Amino acid sequence: MNHRRAIITPRLKNLNADPADVNNYRSISNFTFMSKVVERLVCRQIIAYVNKHNLFFSLQSAYRKYHVTETSVLKLACDALPAAYRGDMSHF
């Protein structure tokens, strides 16, 4: 069976950089299409498991459907503004 491996290709960081200096290179990884598909499938399975077992923090926005950074900002504003109007100290 023929197994493909990711190819790591060194590239100069800057076209004017000295090619003799190893520090002027960065590595570029060319993953195959299938590895990206498998990564997405595994990610979906993990998120489904975490959702099913309620392992996400209730206010977490990342990696959750219908939760975006605006959700976090709104939560912060809804908590902080009333506290500020009451003269309470808010620490976030």
Query: In tens digits, what is the pLDDT along the chain, a chain of 92 residues?
Result: 555 666 777 888 888 889 899 888 887 766 677 788 899 999 999 999 998 999 988 778 777 877 787 877 888 888 888 888 888 875 55
User: How many whole angstroms separate alpha carbon 13 and alpha carbon 9?
Assistant: 12
Using the CB atoms, write b or e for 32-59: b if 16+ within 10 Å: eeeeeeeeeeeeeeeeeeeeeeeeeeee
